[in-house]
Structure 1
Amino acid sequence: MRLLATASTVVALLGQALSQDVPSFPFPTTCSGVAAPRFQYTLDSGWEVTKIASGLRQPRTIIFDPLGHMLVLQATSGISVHTFGADGCINSTKTLLQSAGLNHGLSLTPDGTTLYASSQTTAWSWTYDPAAMTLTNQKTVISGMGQGIHSTRTILVSPKDPNLIIVSVGAAANWDNPTIDPSVGRAIVKVFDVSKAPANGYSYNTQGTVLGYGLRNEVALAFDPNGHVWGAENSGDDFRRTVNGQSTDIHIDNPAEELNYLGDPAAPLANTWFGYPTCFTVWEPSNFNDNTALKTGSQFVVSPNQTFSDASCEGKSNPPRLAFPAHMAPITNGFDPAGENLYITFHGSWDRQPAQGYFVAEVPFTKNADGQYEPVAAADSKTGYKNIIGAQSPGSCNSPSLTMSSCWRLAGLSWDAAGERLFISSDNQAQGEIFVLRKKA
């Protein structure tokens, strides 16, 4: 009888939590038993930060359930769930799922009952119990995703329609020319209605709806308060510009990383091509002496010719809404609860000396008269964002691989369930770390 009463109490509390305000936790100034930060960083004066977890294995993605528990995908390891104590620090950790195949994608329906995660080739769903912190009823949702140098598969549930999930697959190589055709199923973001999924799941290449293609590696995806999608793109490496047979190395500062507006997943844009593998974005115009009309945010082709020139991109390709410096490697996007700012983790460069990135950017947004959200800065701005926390000396960071670096490698980013604390992770294999940030009052 006591067990039944306890179970009933838990169910009642869960129902109450899911229907009312989510739990709020204080901001910790220090957490006992957590190692000191492995790498030095700088912090904007308007923020405060505390390290709350150490010793994790490549914590790639962070999300929160409706009860305020933190779920972390640890790449090549699995999914863990963490609870918080009255001091705002982690007070328990549990392994939800062990899986060497999971490397990035993790998302939860708004009601907290269905969890999605992905490997390089497959996406699955589970029934999740936030109170018991358990997973059951594993199903294959999508299979057949292509393989290549970009192995992560971002997966997100639409907050406006939880039956819709978006899944991105990057290019198979630096230059993946077949992706000019969206049916190839790479360099693309697609939408799937899980309520209509076949018994064995969707086939990625042949099913689903194109939200955007010509997106070289759109790892960072987020929904604005309207439920519309914004993506930050990892653009190309080792570029040379060839004009009339003369080749110039432009790779230090070009092409730019991009912030793209992908639109409403329930009503995709009419033109869903974003340029790759033909049209790229300028960060530093001075590298293009042959075309003085180019400016930051303009699109260009690597080898202009009579068939396709820089000007040809206009009207054919969707240009980015904002550009960022080359090679900074955006990994995760996330809006604050009011939609006033978009936050982006930049993993850091390998194809540039001095190195750059290794920070969290704050991109101010505004709500227009028509109710749509967009960045405050103009598309040709170089100052449309600011660094709120980053490596102390990014120019000296050495990153010989995706998981090895002499600096932290910022990856996961998520607001807690109450929208009060911003959590970020570093997936450097030397030590997986999680930090919590808060704006000062």
Structure 2
Amino acid sequence: MRWLTTFSAVAALASQALSQDAPTFPFPASCSGVAAARYPYTLDAGWEATKIASGLRQPRTIIFDNLGHMLVLQATSGISVHTFGADGCINSTKTLVQNSGLNHGLSLTPDGKTLYASSQTTVWSWTYDATALTLTGQKTIVASIGQGIHSTRTTVVSPKNPNLILVSVGAAANWDNPTIDPSVGRAIVKVFDASKAPSNGYSFNSQGTVLAYGLRNEVALAFDPNGHVWGAENSGDDFRRTVNGQSTDIHIDNPAEELNYLGDPEKPFTDNWYGYPTCFTVWEPSNFRDNTALKTGSQFVVSPNTTFNDASCDGKSRPPRLSFPAHMAPITNGFDPKGENLYITFHGSWDRQPAQGYFVAEVPFQKGADGNYEPTAAADSKTGYKNIIGSQNPGGCNSPSLTTSSCWRVAGLSWDQAGERLFISSDNSAQGEIFVLRKKA
């Protein structure tokens, strides 16, 4: 009965979000005054795409308010809001807040009245007025977040319980061994009740609830129609496999990027360790000649020994539900309105030649007999997703920094409130762009 009540509540929220309050706009064939795409791309035959914005500063995250306005977090700049005209193109732009520390996290409560955004160290909230396009009453919700090589702090609001916000913090280094203890506050996703936040905000490390840890850098977080959390993980760089003193470079195709089921934020798993910094995921099994039992999706340790080896990960670490090629850098994911597909932006690789990533993936999902959602592909599949739009020549992309590249770097992703148009951004510093996509009828 509890499950039925929960499901009904989430379904009601989804229905409300896609009801009469959700305005619809036509799909534009082109938008006047918008520069052509900065970089060439390929598009799946079942989709159409139009560039609707250019000249933005690192548009990292896209969300929509209940009146259909598009809010964009422009990293190192602030938050802007964009309205649409009758032609489906942007007809006005306004800066809501200027803050050079903002870099990724942006989320609205389902009623559209409270906005959250994050810097590397802090999560703030504001009261948002979608009609006046204003933010007021800034509050600190979470503070004292530690710093490291991963600076983004993904912040998302639970659709099932809008008082709950999830905050993800990555590892402080490629190998961050202290994170085996969740109290260090890194390689972790935590849940906070914003309605009970102290006046100076929660202390990230010592307060809140651990949803999941052992996640090297779980930048992409999304809720399925049940309000359960799915995370996409950036795994490690420059790996060598050492067995009996013999070291082999495996970093080109391993470890895999991961799609992890993190569960219900109101009822975290008791076994919520996902392996880092010990257990990683195989993408290409042929690199592991010492263990022919490994397959795509299996977990492995970099230096197996008599105390802890590949088999030790079984039953201790929660394995990913699906995996992706190494170094593709997933940074945003989101479900379509019916939960039939999960979409993921792959920001692209720097630690691999030839490069890979730089595309938006569509991952088919299905609802099981138990009412839960999961990918249609098996956990050991290499074909559980497809590229719907991506760089024309990803292997030739050169990305010497997080936002500098010879190709676009797909970043933000969001469906509009009507569930009809999919918006994506590229935060390449050479040209910040936003495109709108639609499946062909």
- Name the TM-score class by shorter chain: over 0.9
Moved over 6 A (4+): 16-19
Q: Counterpart of 2:161 in 1: which secondary structure?
A: coil
CA distance in 2, matches of 1:398, 1:122: 32
Unaligned runs of 5+ in 1: 1-15
Say yes or no: does 1:397 pair with 2:397: yes
- Identity, % of aligned positions: 86
**Residue 49 of structure 2 aligns with which residue?**
49
Match of 2:249 in 1: 249
Show CA shifts across 1:57-77 (max 9, x none): 000000000000000000000
Q: Counterpart in 2 of 1:189?
A: 189
Distance 1:412 1:259 in 2: 17
Structure 2 CA distance for aligned equivalents of residues 302 and 266 of structure 1: 34
Q: How far apart, in 2, do the equivalents of 1:424 and 1:38 lie?
A: 14
Alignment of 1:376 with 2:376, yes or no, is yes
1:352-376 deviations in whole A, cap 9, x for unaligned?
Answer: 0000000000000000001000000
Check the 8 A contact 1:334/1:414 in 2, yes or no. yes
1:98 CA displacement:
0.5
- Alpha-carbon separation, structure 1, partners of 2:22 and 2:295: 46
Aligned pairs (5 A) from 1:304-343: 304-343=304-343
Q: Distance in 2 between the 1:121 and 1:132 partners?
A: 29
Distance 2:128 2:228 in 1: 25
Check whether the contact 1:18–1:66 (CA below 8 A) recurs between aligned residues: no
- Tell me by how many angstroms 1:17 deviates: 10
Could you say if the C-alpha distance between residues 18 and 351 of structure 1 is closer, same or farther in structure 2, counting changes exceeding 3 Å?
A: closer
After the TM superposition, which residues 124-273 of structure 1 pair with which residues of structure 2 at under 5 Å, given as runs?
124-273=124-273
Matched letter for residue 63 of structure 1:
I
Counterpart residue type for residue 273 of structure 1: W
Deviation at 1:21, TM superposition (A): 3.1
Task: State whether residues 18 and 67 of structure 1, in contact with CA within 8 Å, keep that contact through their aligned partners in structure 2.
Answer: no
CA separation in 2, counterparts of 1:320 and 1:37?
35
The amino acid of 2:69's aligned partner reads H
Residue matched to 1:7: none
What is the distance in 1 between the residues matched to 2:166 and 2:302? 30
1:5-84 to structure 2, matched below 5 A, reads 20-84=20-84
Specify the alignment match of 1:5 in structure 2.
Answer: none
Q: Is the 8 A contact 1:17 1:67 kept in 2?
A: no
Q: What displacement does 1:87 show?
A: 0.3
CA–CA separation in structure 1 for the residues paired with 2:29 and 2:146: 44
| Deviation of 1:195 (Å) | 1.5
Task: Classify the secondary structure of the residue corresponding to 2:178.
Answer: helix
C-alpha separation between the residues in 1 aligned to 2:81 and 2:140? 22
Measure how far apart 1:272 and its partner are.
Answer: 0.6
8 A contact 2:281–2:298 mirrored in 1 = yes
Cα shift at 1:413: 0.1
Query: Does structure 2 conserve the Cα–Cα contact (< 8 Å) formed by 1:261 and 1:320?
Result: yes
CA displacement, residues 406-434 of structure 1 (integer Å, 9 cap, x when unaligned): 00000000000111000000000000000
Q: In 2, Cα distance between the equivalents of 1:194 and 1:78?
A: 22
Partners of 1:35 and 1:227 in 2: how far apart? Answer: 38
AA at the equivalent of 2:273: W
The 3 A distance-change label for structure 1 pair 18 and 296 is closer
User: Does the aligned pair in 1 maintain the 2:18–2:419 contact within 8 Å?
Assistant: no
- 1:167-204 CA distance string (max 9 Å, x none): 00000000000000000000000000112211211000
Which residue of structure 2 lines up, in the alignment, with residue 10 of structure 1? none
Query: Normalising by structure 2, what TM-score?
Result: 0.96
Cα distance change of structure 1 residues 380 and 134 upon mapping to structure 2, 3 Å threshold? same
Letter in 1 for 2:240: R
Q: Per the alignment, do residues 341 and 208 of structure 1 end up closer, same or farther by CA in structure 2, a change over 3 Å counting?
A: same
Q: TM-score, normalised by structure 1?
A: 0.96
Deviation at 1:19, TM superposition (A): 7.8
Residue identity opposite 1:407 in structure 2: C
Q: How far is 1:240 from its partner? A: 0.1
Counterpart CA distance in 2 for 1:201 and 1:100 is 20
Unaligned runs of 5+ in 2: 1-15
Residue 179 of structure 1 aligns to a residue whose secondary structure is helix
Once superposed, what is the RMSD of the aligned Cα atoms? 1.0
